[in-house]
Amino acid sequence: MGMEVAHVSASGMGGIRTAGDLVARMELCRGMKIKEAKEYVASKLKVSVLELSDPIVMGDLRQDLNIGTMAPFVGGAKGIEAKFRIAELLGIEINCVNKCKDKLKW
């Protein structure tokens, strides 16, 4: 049931177009309620909670932080590279990032 709730919340916030994917990660990784997750992500990104769901603000910010965008730009992070950056930015463990680090002896 937890995954479905997080997915609905993330989809409602616009997913990767805004910060829905980041908020959902905090809900799942740390068991945060949506309000707490939004506040945590907003503080890490140094934006207001309202700006988290603004596709213009978040599009520019995601590009500046290189944490993945809807339409990847030349040289922009995609896939595992974006996940590495997200894990570092939010201070969380992401399973596939940890597995990659293990394989690379990081």
Give the pLDDT mean for 67-79.
82
Share of the chain above pLDDT 70, in %: 85
pTM: 0.80
- Calpha distance 104→30 (Å, rounded): 26
Q: What confidence category does residue 18 fall into, taking pLDDT thresholds of 50, 70 and 90?
A: confident
- Calpha distance 72→69 (Å, rounded): 5
37 or 11, greater pLDDT: 37
- Calpha distance 82→29 (Å, rounded): 17
Q: Which of 3-12, 36-45, 69-78, 82-91 has the lowest mean pLDDT?
A: 3-12
Among the listed residues 30, 49, 53, the one whose alpha carbon sits nearest the alpha carbon of residue 38: 49
